[in-house]
Structure 1
Amino acid sequence: MNETTRIFGIRAVIEAIESGKSIEKIFIQKGLSGSLFQELNRHLKDGSYNVSYVPIEKLNKLSKGNHQGVVANISPVSFISLEKLVEKAQNASTIPLFLLLDGLTDVRNFGAIIRTAECCGVSGIIIQEKGSAPINADTVKTSAGAVFKVPICKVNHILDAVYHLQTYDINVIAATEKTYDVIYDLNLNQPLAIVMGNEAKGVSNSILKSVNNKAKLPMLGSIASLNVSVACGAFLYEVVRQRL
């Protein structure tokens, strides 16, 4: 599969949820009611799905069929749990290297980062369930297919993932200009996780307070920051350089 699959109809979406499909987003018509909708709503109560309540005109654009007030996008990839991701990395022959994306929203940046991550031997990418760029056709294309090769994990909160990784003695480094430390001065030849932030806001303050280290890239020009995918590539290749 090379792009996101779109399904429509309340029963079809319920069956997708019950069969464990990776659902990127669910669109529900505002004011929808009925017994079948109540059954769907019970599946959504835990808050683990990205749901938008939209006018019927939006649904009509998304689907030409009888959508019954519900349309969902299913991800083209399967996701791995954080526990399995860490276990797999620890059992590998290389030093673990994780990438956490805190609020990244642009699908092309996401795809470019996945491509670079695959080239740099990243053990896995961790994203947040809500508020993150979806994995769709643009992501797949920009990643040059790397999205099918790098394990990707979805978590409820990136901060919880930071704490979880730290319990395994994985050093978590946030990429931020809010520090005096340059990435080249840190020891990256150890189990490591790098946090890249939102395109506009950077890494959130709660995560900055919780990481083991903060690091930046030296900026010699007049522009204050790099594109996040470019900055991520610079960070990852410094890891590669130190580990070669």
Structure 2
Amino acid sequence: MENYIFGIHPVLEAIEKGDLPEKILIQRGLQGENFVQLFNTIRQRNIPYQMVPIEKLNSLTRKNHQGIIAFLPVIPYYELSEVMPNIYEKGEVPLLVVADGVTDVRNLGAIARSAECFGAHALILSQKGTAPINADSIKTSSGALARLQVCREENLIASLAFLKECGVKIVAATEKSGLRLNQADLNGPIAIIVGSEEKGIHRSLLSLADITVSIPMAGKVASLNVSVASGVFLYEVVRQRMQSNVEDLG
């Protein structure tokens, strides 16, 4: 069942309390002073919204929705500024995944599943232009999205800059790189950026990467599905860390 609220005042109150909706449906042609206040707040907080016909809203609820339905998060979200200190306080080495523009819920769920399986501390997403976290993505993740710390960031550029300040190496996964995955040093604090299959990683994020890395390919197909590529990168990070631990013991 979808988790949503409706009505201008309930939605505005939720936003002002900090309960940011995943997405808001707005009836086309809606007007009025109260709506203008809500709409300005939606835009200021960078909340995804969509203008739809009233029939769409009526199909979701027969109650007085006032032309507004807001879908609330189905999982808790975490602040990256709080996640990072907690990792270091536990004496652990950060491993994070940044998904840039991944719009398919199944891919997002599969990325989260790999991240949780390989011990990533957090999955970092943009508030806009990312697949919603809903029943489908949670099912695809085999529940990993409910166990993993997920951070919804308003500005991924600022988020990567913050990670670099925290001593995290930014590794961008792109088939255009001449540095192969097996050649890259992935020890130490790492954040792996993966991009959408259509557009890849945005240039502004690539420019912040400490290194760009590609997966060696032997077949005729040039690239892997983004969720599969994420799993390969995460495996290599864990493999290198385990090898380093063995060498340290030796």
SS in 2 for 1:121: coil
Q: Is contact 1:127–1:152 with CA below 8 Å preserved after alignment?
A: yes
Task: Please give the residue correspondences for 1:48-127 in structure 2 after superposition, counting only pairs within 5 Å.
Answer: 48-127=46-125
- Of 139, 142, 165 in structure 1, the residue corresponding to residue 140 of structure 2 is 142
Offset of residue 90 of structure 1: 1.7
The alignment yields a C-alpha RMSD, in angstroms, of: 1.5
Q: Is contact 1:120–1:236 with CA below 8 Å preserved after alignment?
A: yes
- Of 233, 236, 240 in structure 2, the residue corresponding to residue 235 of structure 1 is 233
Q: Which amino acid is 1:148 matched to?
A: A
**134-143 or 41-50: bigger deviation:** 41-50
**68-77 or 57-66: bigger deviation:** 57-66
Q: Which amino acid is 1:215 matched to?
A: V
1:28 equivalent in alignment to 2:26:
yes
d(CA) in 1 for partners of 2:231, 2:12 = 39
1:44-98 per-residue CA deviation (whole Å, 9 max, x = no partner) reads 2414211112222222223332211001110111211121121122222321011
- Of 125, 128, 131 in structure 1, the residue corresponding to residue 129 of structure 2 is 131
d(CA) in 2 for partners of 1:29, 1:155 = 27
SS in 1 for 2:15: helix
Q: Is contact 2:24–2:49 with CA below 8 Å preserved after alignment?
A: yes
d(CA) in 1 for partners of 2:166, 2:32 = 47
Offset of residue 4 of structure 1: 4.1
Offset of residue 42 of structure 1: 4.1
Q: Is contact 2:168–2:190 with CA below 8 Å preserved after alignment?
A: yes
SS in 1 for 2:44: coil
Q: Which amino acid is 1:83 matched to?
A: S
* Alignment-derived partner of residue 40 in structure 1: 38
d(CA) in 1 for partners of 2:90, 2:2 = 31
- Using the size of structure 2 for normalisation, the TM-score is 0.92
d(CA) in 2 for partners of 1:21, 1:46 = 15
Q: Is contact 1:174–1:196 with CA below 8 Å preserved after alignment?
A: yes
Q: Is contact 2:3–2:71 with CA below 8 Å preserved after alignment?
A: yes
SS in 1 for 2:22: strand
Number of aligned residue pairs: 242
- Of 212, 215, 225 in structure 2, the residue corresponding to residue 214 of structure 1 is 212
- Of 7, 13, 16 in structure 1, the residue corresponding to residue 14 of structure 2 is 16
Identity value in percent: 43
Q: Is contact 2:5–2:72 with CA below 8 Å preserved after alignment?
A: yes
Structure having the larger proportion of residues in helix: 2
Offset of residue 35 of structure 1: 3.1
- Using the size of structure 1 for normalisation, the TM-score is 0.94
**85-94 or 189-198: bigger deviation:** 85-94
Q: Which amino acid is 1:175 matched to?
A: A
| Structure 2: 5+ residue stretches without partners | 243-250
**41-50 or 66-75: bigger deviation:** 41-50
d(CA) in 1 for partners of 2:167, 2:19 = 32
